[in-house]
A and B are shown apart, each in its own frame.
Chain A
Amino acid sequence: MEGQLAHIGAGLAGLGTGLAALGVGNVAANFLAGALRNPSAAASQTATLFIGIAFAEALGIFSFLVALLLMFAV
């Protein structure tokens, strides 16, 4: 029973990765919207784009980690 509950918890933690995908998409979409308005400034901001994506993605990776822990370690 406990193992099954852990699997349900892992599935719920998996939702977090999907939400992180929303965040990453939001960052990229806003970057693209800005870049199309001013293409000449876009190239200099790709580093900022990747930093933003990395921060948005980190929390999704945390929930993925929680899912993994529930699957294999608990």
Chain B
Amino acid sequence: MATEATQGAEMAGHGAEHAAETGGLVFHPMDQFIVKPLFGDGAVGMFTITNVTLWMAIAILVIVALMVLGTSRRAVVPSRSQSVAELAYGFIHKMVEDVTGKEGLVYFPYIMTLFMFIVVANFLGLIPMSFTTTSHFAVTVVLALCVFLGVTILGFVKNGPSFLSMFWVTSAPLALRPVLAIIEIISYFVRPVSHSIRLAGNVMAGHAVIKVFAGFAGLAIISPLSIVAITAIYGLEVMVAFVQAYVFTILTCVYLKDALHPHH
């Protein structure tokens, strides 16, 4: 987090320079991702309460409100919040069952937690002036590493050393198998990298593009066009926010399936 803060500060310096040069752009598109302490102006340390902490806490509160309060009445005819909660639950439950099979359902609570956190954090980030926690690699790398370590340990616990047979492709000719094994091992260890960077990269890129178009709105000639573009991209971002949470979750399911059944 500390390094990110310094990076953010550098970006801010960059932005100020830029504004001085052109005179039009008063903010930098990457300024929105700066991690700031909520109280005071000190450096960001390990336990500093920052805007990231605040928006993560808000995400947790929203999820609890939706899932606990929404379903507490247990109405036969569901209210709006109850049907959203039921839809989300049914959607993820079906996804886990379809991809990993019946025995994967034991891990459903973890996958549901992942999905709810990412989707709510993404949607909260779309509120103007809010902070998008999932746009930071520090956040998504932790999520992806938890999945990667958990799935690897689970694979060894469930299958023992035969889990390594996942890298030895028996359907290929014998001469090709060592080469394939190297490729498989590399692709296995790239998983947490692509898993985390996909989410953070998509969310960050979308938000930066919105801010770039917002910068164009300062020029009187193209401001109507730029406002239309912001609206259109915002609509796209609403979709991306959901699709990226879905992709993160379904890839978790795929990795889990590989750990439970390494032989196909």
Question: Interface residues, chain A, CB within 8 Å of chain B?
Answer: 47, 50-51, 53-55, 57-58, 61-62, 64-65, 72-73
Chain A nearest CB: distance from B194 CB in Å? Answer: 4
Q: Is the interface of A mostly helix, strand, loop or mixed?
A: helix
Which 3 residue pairs are nearest across A and B when measured between Cβ atoms? A61-B201, A58-B194, A54-B247
| Contact present for A64 and B205 (CB under 8 Å) | yes
Chain A nearest CB: distance from B209 CB in Å? Answer: 11
Q: A58-B197, A58-B198 are in contact. Are A51 and B251 (CB under 8 A)?
A: yes
| Contact present for B251 and A54 (CB under 8 Å) | yes
Q: A47-B99, A50-B250, A61-B202 are in contact. Are A72 and B197 (CB under 8 A)?
A: no
Q: Is the interface of B mostly helix, strand, loop or mixed?
A: helix
Q: A47-B99, A65-B197 are in contact. Are A72 and B247 (CB under 8 A)?
A: no
Chain A nearest CB: distance from B11 CB in Å? Answer: 6
Q: A47-B99, A51-B250, A51-B254 are in contact. Are A72 and B202 (CB under 8 A)?
A: no
Given the complex, which residues of A lie within 8 Å of B146, measured CB to CB?
A: none
Given the complex, which residues of B lie within 8 Å of A55, measured CB to CB?
A: 194
| Bound CA–CA A10/B194 (angstroms) | 20
Question: Interface residues, chain B, CB within 8 Å of chain A?
Answer: 7, 10-11, 14, 30, 95, 98-99, 194, 197-198, 201-202, 205, 243, 246-247, 250-251, 254
| Contact present for B7 and A72 (CB under 8 Å) | yes
| Contact present for A50 and B201 (CB under 8 Å) | no
| Contact present for B95 and A47 (CB under 8 Å) | yes
A-B contact pairs, 30 of them (CB 8 A): A47-B95, A47-B98, A47-B99, A47-B250, A50-B246, A50-B247, A50-B250, A51-B247, A53-B247, A54-B198, A54-B247, A54-B250, A54-B251, A55-B194, A57-B202, A58-B194, A58-B198, A61-B197, A61-B198, A61-B201, A61-B202, A61-B205, A62-B194, A62-B197, A64-B205, A65-B197, A72-B11, A72-B14, A72-B30, A73-B7
| Bound CA–CA A66/B99 (angstroms) | 33
| Bound CA–CA A72/B13 (angstroms) | 11
| Contact present for A65 and B201 (CB under 8 Å) | yes
| Contact present for B198 and A50 (CB under 8 Å) | no
Given the complex, which residues of A lie within 8 Å of B251, measured CB to CB?
A: 51, 54
Given the complex, which residues of B lie within 8 Å of A72, measured CB to CB?
A: 7, 10-11, 14, 30
Given the complex, which residues of B lie within 8 Å of A57, measured CB to CB?
A: 198, 202
Chain A nearest CB: distance from B208 CB in Å? Answer: 9
Q: A72-B30, A73-B7 are in contact. Are A50 and B243 (CB under 8 A)?
A: yes
| Bound CA–CA A60/B30 (angstroms) | 20
Given the complex, which residues of A lie within 8 Å of B14, measured CB to CB?
A: 72
Chain B nearest CB: distance from A7 CB in Å? Answer: 12
Given the complex, which residues of B lie within 8 Å of A53, measured CB to CB?
A: 247
Chain A nearest CB: distance from B68 CB in Å? Answer: 29
Chain A nearest CB: distance from B92 CB in Å? Answer: 12
Q: Which of A54, A55, A58, A73 has the most CB of B within 10 A?
A: A54
| Bound CA–CA A64/B205 (angstroms) | 8
